[in-house]
Structures are given as C-alpha cells and as structure tokens.
Amino acid sequence: MIYDYLIIGGGIIGLNVARALKLKFVDAKIVVIEKEAEVGMHSSGRNSGVLHAGFYYSADSLKAKFTKEGNKKMHEFCESRGIRINKCAKVVVAQNSEEVLGLEELKRRGDVNGVELSWMSEEELNEKFPLIKTEQKALFSPTTATIDPKAVTLEFKKYVQELGVEILTSTTYKKRTYEYEIETNNGSMRFKKLINCAGLYADKIAKDFGFGQKYVIIPFKGIYLKDKYNICGLETNVYPVPNLANPFLGVHYTYAVEDDSKIGPTAIPAFWRENYKGFDNFNFGEMAQILYYEAKLFLTNAFGFRNLAISEVKKYSKSYLLNLAKGLTKPLDMSGFDSWSTPGIRAQLLDTNTLELVQDFVVEGDNISVHVLNAVSPAFTSSMPFSQWVVDNYIEKI
C-alpha cells in the first residue's frame, strides 16, 4: 500500500495533524506510526496538564498566534468528549517590587494577544485566594485550566480512528530507504508525503530528509513533587514571574485535574533523550552528542545555562524545591508533598550556530516531507490550531 500521508509520532501533535488532514482531505489514506505500544507515552502524556491562556509569548510568535485559540478548542473538545476539566484559573504573583515590572510586561503581552486577564490587588487576592501572597498586585488568568494529558491524548487517538485514520503502534522509524519510502521495524512503508512529529527524535529524522541541519534537540527532565490529597489547600495554579529570556516558567504550584497539587517542574539537563530514570533507555551515541553541546553551553554560559544547570540539579532536593515554592504563598501545610511524579522529558531545540534555545515552534519541509522540529510548551494547549496551520501551510492535496 502507498499511503497519501504518513505521520511519524503518536503524540498530541501527530494525532492532531492526522485530524486536520482527514477533515480537509476526507478520502486520503492516512497512517500514524508510533514506536511505543500506545500513543502519548512521552511528552504528550507526561506534561503538566495545564491548558495555558497565551499571555507569556511575544505577539510576533507562533505560540502567541495559537495558544489562546488552542485553549478554547481544547476546552470544547474535552467538553464534547466528556473529559474532565479543572477550571481552576491561574494567579501570577510578584515576590518583590522589581517583579511587578515583569507582571506588567505579561499583562501587555496578554492584551496584545487578546487574552482575558485582570489585575488583583493584594486585598482582592487575599479575599479570593487567602493562601497566596504577592507584592502590590497579581495577575489573574481565568481561562487557564488543568486536564489529564494522557486521557486527552488517548481520546484524540479514538477520535482520529473514528475519522478513518490508521494508527500503527509498536512501529519504529529506522531510516529513509528511497525518496518516498522508509524502513520500520515492521518492514518498509511507502508514502506520497511524510510528516515528522517525532518529538524527541524529530531532529534526527529531519536530517535523513535534508532538514534541521543547524538544530539538535537537548532534553530537559521535568519532575514534580506531589501532594496527592491537596493537604496544602490551594485551589488555583500559582506561578512566579518568569525569566522571559529562557523557555522555562519557574517553580510553581499546579492544581491538577484530580484535585491534587504539585510543585515544580524541574528543568534538569538530561544526558540522553529518554533519560527518565537511572540507565533506562541508555544510548551512548546520544549521550556523547548531548554532552558535547551541554559542555559548550556550560563553558560559554550561553543564555545563563551554567547557572540554570546548577540551580536545576539542586531541585532534586525536596527541601530546596519546597523553599522555592514558599515564596509564592503564605505558610502552608507542606506535609502532603511527599512523592515525586513520573518524570517527563522536554524536547528542547538548540540552534547549534548561536547556542540559543529556540523559543518558538519550528517547522521545515518541502513537497516530500514536513518536519515539526520544535513543539515545546504550550504545544499541548496549541495543538489543534497549530496542527491545522501546519496542514494549511505545508501540506497540499495529494
């Protein structure tokens, strides 16, 4: 069989590209291949579960273009499919007078992006969320919510199968064999167009097709400290003012969909792409390449990587992580934060020419293949409109 469209990667982006393709080209033969036994086993099923509102991103970015709409569409999808949403909102607080300026920049970005935001005075914050503290004022985001990312990803799998998309799990991309053919562990597959949504491995696959030449994915490990019964008593997400020069939002509280709370995440540089725990999935070649670039970043301290790496490693200490979070709230009962979450890996693209972490989504392609090279947070929130944009701009009718 020759597939019209072959999609590599059964995460939230791959499934939504399949959805957008099938809705646009109803008669197309579409297949999604996924190397794991189930979809959403990596970033899509291991992320924070936060549906972001879209006010962190500069107006000229793809993230700004798609996050607000993605939040709305994800709410609609979950509600139509009976998936629980915790409409718990979010508060961004300042810990000193300097951070108030950071809050004002976030409000400016949100206003430009058309995101619903409002100011809360210290008095208003104390009345609505008495456990949270801020300096002068806080930023309130009513459309931020939390969901179960694994449940949502599995529901998208079910939905695209209902549309007629074929999904082949336990099917691993090996290499490109001919112009319109690839080899997998289950044999060769032919296609008219290939779409690479492989997340942690997107850069490697892209290079087989002549793309992503100046990029490499650097993995960062994220884990949370969990309060399974929400003993701390928080009822919303609480975030600090982030450093907008890097893609990480800082240690914060997440009020999850199952009414549990968590503190985190970490952004610890990992040594290979699936470096979740111990030496599981160890790959020497990957480690050598990643350590080479991490060493360059450490020595040059590009974008403050050295300081970032040192501070992130400290977050393996429960007491250190708790102390970082304490600055966002009044004294809480922290006794419930006693277990670590399942780790996730952020597939963060690095520009090897400039030694900068790429902040925005990146897509490259031609008439044979399309490669989603950078789809980091808030890619889950943005997945529906972002995938539609990929289809509309990079994929023609076969």
Rounded to an integer, what distance in angstroms lies between the CA atom of residue 155 and that of residue 153? 5
Does the pTM exceed 0.75? yes
**pLDDT value of residue 173:** 98
Percent of the chain with pLDDT over 70: 100
Q: Looking at residue 315, what DSSP letter applies? A: G
Rounded to an integer, what distance in angstroms lies between the CA atom of residue 72 and that of residue 9? 24
* First vs last C-alpha separation in the chain: 15
Residue of 165, 149, 148 lying closest to 157 (CA atoms): 165
Rounded to an integer, what distance in angstroms lies between the CA atom of residue 109 and that of residue 340? 34
Could you give all domains of the chain from N- to C-terminal order, each with its CATH number? 1-84+146-214+360-398 (3.50.50.60), 90-142 (no CATH), 216-352 (3.30.9)
Q: Looking at residue 391, what DSSP letter applies? A: H
Percent of the chain with pLDDT over 90: 92
Residue of 87, 100, 90, 85 lying closest to 132 (CA atoms): 90
Q: Are 147 and 381 in contact (CB under 8 A)?
A: no
Cis (ω within 30 of 0) for the bond into 269? no
Instruction: Write the burial class of residue 335 (CB in 10 Å: 0-12 exposed, 13-18 middle, 19+ buried).
Output: exposed
- Would you state the structure tokens that stand for residue 338, as one six-digit string? 């006693």
Rounded to an integer, what distance in angstroms lies between the CA atom of residue 49 and that of residue 342? 13
- Residue 280's pLDDT band, with cuts at 50, 70 and 90, is confident
H-run or E-run covering 286: helix 284-300
Q: Are 148 and 257 in contact (CB under 8 A)?
A: yes
Q: What is the pLDDT of residues 94-106, one digit of tens each?
A: 999 999 999 999 9
Residues 6+ away with beta carbon under 8 Å from 193: 4, 5, 6, 367, 368, 369, 370, 395, 398
Phi, psi of 102 (to 5 degrees): -65, -40
Across 72-81, 154-163, 306-315, least confident range: 306-315
Residue 247 has pLDDT above 80, yes or no: no
- Residue 245's pLDDT band, with cuts at 50, 70 and 90, is confident
